[in-house]
Structure 1
């Protein structure tokens, strides 16, 4: 097989890159080791930055997001028994969309299929050869057969455990990592959300987040110690603890309860690979970086990676200008490290830290009050949360 850009991974990044290249008349092939049903059902992030939402709409794949998604102009920051609204729109002129990554993937698969895009599901990439040549190759298995896809460029959007990062020479890359001493116990519940905007709650027992998937499905999270087994928490214990962490002193708010349909524990880590390109192999999304979910940056970083990369590939393939491709890693990493800092800042600010004493607790509350009292501090949060312009 032969194509111009070989893409490993049919998550939102790989699919959006393939779509953007198609709009520019550049052929690509997407290889995905999972089946289509799995890709369209796996639960992931739901916050879409202002700029990413605009890009999806401009590319003709945002119509359902605009119709069915929730526009959020603010967030509810809770601490010390009180609720404080951060008005994102008033502070920045920007908002976010609540539209699950699952739905973005469905929209992109449908569009690539309608456009006769070459998507191969249950096609597992087993090796990437010749990345330092002008004809790199992806070896993969599909329908029981070993096949080879020859490309001009290979883009690995295959996640943290994919072969993309592992295919970079060990003497070329550097990795940076921070593992946090806690995780999130996340649940999906068949109950209408108890809020109109996301609630980020700091509590002495730990962090809690109230999100939603639809008008009838809620998504909620609890901070738990590393090593926690979700099965050790009964549904009643989960609801009781969520109610405790979201509670207001004046009692003017109540958490709705309903059947829990899914629960799992997500570990928290920050991880960056440098560079994000070697030879004809490019990394994008979780293949290159992981952020804790507190700042809602994982999906958005991946989409920004491929937006930068698509522009660079179009310049190279249509005008013979390789300057943007050569700068891809440096360009993407500037945004990656800004998002790393914001995610780290939100995580350490809102979570109870093992070993904290009364002094640490008071400092954290003082910082939270500063954000809600200072328009400048609130603007810093809002600018990063809604997505900074390209840097």
Structure 2
């Protein structure tokens, strides 16, 4: 089999790039380790930057997002028993975000690839890139007992943090930067009315919490827990009791509780791999970088990678211009590190660290006071939250 671009990873990043390139007449194949059902069962956040939403529309995948997504012009931070609002629309030049679950994004992209007859291979085992530093790379995978070879001109590694793509870059080339946080987020999904029409981030002496939503009848809530905790340690009742303790009294009083339909604990990590290109292999999304979910940058950072890759590959194939490919790693990493900074700042501002000292507590309080007393600070938070320009 021969294609122009072989994409490893059938999550939203790989599917979005495949769809965009297909619309430009560029031939791709997507190789996904797991079944479609498995991919669509993953529960992920879904706060979409305005730039990501625009890219979905360009990919002809934005109709349901625009119809069903929740447009948010701001979010609230609960601290010291009160709520303060960050007015994104006011301080970012009229921009906003769309709350639309990553699972739904992925579903829309799958349907778009089906509609156009896109080549997406599921249950592709032992996917391996070869000769990525040559002019003729190829990828092999196993389909049952059969070994399949895909000859291509470029390999895109969009296969996540644990995927094979990043590991294919030689150790003497790859540089990895990582910070692991000493806590995780226990999250539950419930078929209940959201406690607020906008997200509420909570800074509390018992630990961080987040009130989020997927729709007007589907809520997503999180609380900060030690890394030693397991989901089975927490009954639904225990979760709701602890969440209420961390919310302002008036918010807790209107919280609608119910059975969880999904419960999991996500550890928090900051991670960046450099460079994001080696030969004919290009990394994108979680294969190259991870952020704590606090600043809602994960999926959006992946989308910016796809934006740069899409335009670089279009430049190569349709214009004979390789400047986008040559500059991809540098350009993508510049935006990635800004997303890292914002996610790190939000995490440091809102969480209770186990090794903190009184100086840290006072500095946190001062940072919060400054945020809501300075229009410049509000503008900086807003422009990062709605998304920096690509």
TM-score bracket, normalised by the shorter chain, equals over 0.9
Which consecutive unaligned segments of at least 5 residues does structure 2 have? none
Runs of 4+ in structure 1 over 4 Å off: 250-253
Partner of 2:225: 224
Closer/same/farther in 2, CA of residues 251 and 145 from structure 1, 3 Å limit: closer
Q: Matches of 2:308 and 2:229 in 1, distance apart?
A: 38
Matching of residue 387 in structure 1 with residue 387 in structure 2: yes
Q: Aligned residues, how many?
A: 389
Which consecutive unaligned segments of at least 5 residues does structure 1 have? none
Report the CA distance between 1:251 and its aligned residue: 7.0
Matching of residue 189 in structure 1 with residue 193 in structure 2: no
TM-score of the two chains, using structure 2 as the length reference = 0.98
Structure 2 SS opposite 1:86: strand
Q: What's the CA shift string for 1:251-310, capped at 9, x where partnerless?
A: 785221111121111000101000000000000000000101001011001111011001
Partner of 1:159: 160
Structure 2 SS opposite 1:384: helix
Partner of 2:309: 309
Q: Matches of 2:71 and 2:144 in 1, distance apart?
A: 42
1:279-358 aligned within 5 A: 279-358=279-358
Q: Matches of 1:71 and 1:241 in 2, distance apart?
A: 29
Partner of 2:270: 270
Q: Matches of 2:139 and 2:79 in 1, distance apart?
A: 51
Report the CA distance between 1:355 and its aligned residue: 2.1
1:164-183 aligned within 5 A: 164-183=165-184
Name the stretch that deviates more: 78-87 or 255-264: 255-264
Q: Matches of 2:312 and 2:67 in 1, distance apart?
A: 31
Partner of 1:138: 139
Contact 2:20 2:58 in 1 (8 A): no
Structure 1 SS opposite 2:40: helix
Partner of 2:97: 96
Structure 2 SS opposite 1:336: helix
Partner of 1:126: 127
Report the CA distance between 1:317 and its aligned residue: 1.2
Report the CA distance between 1:218 and its aligned residue: 0.8
Q: Matches of 1:252 and 1:310 in 2, distance apart?
A: 45
Name the stretch that deviates more: 287-296 or 350-359: 350-359
Partner of 1:44: 44
TM-score of the two chains, using structure 1 as the length reference = 0.97
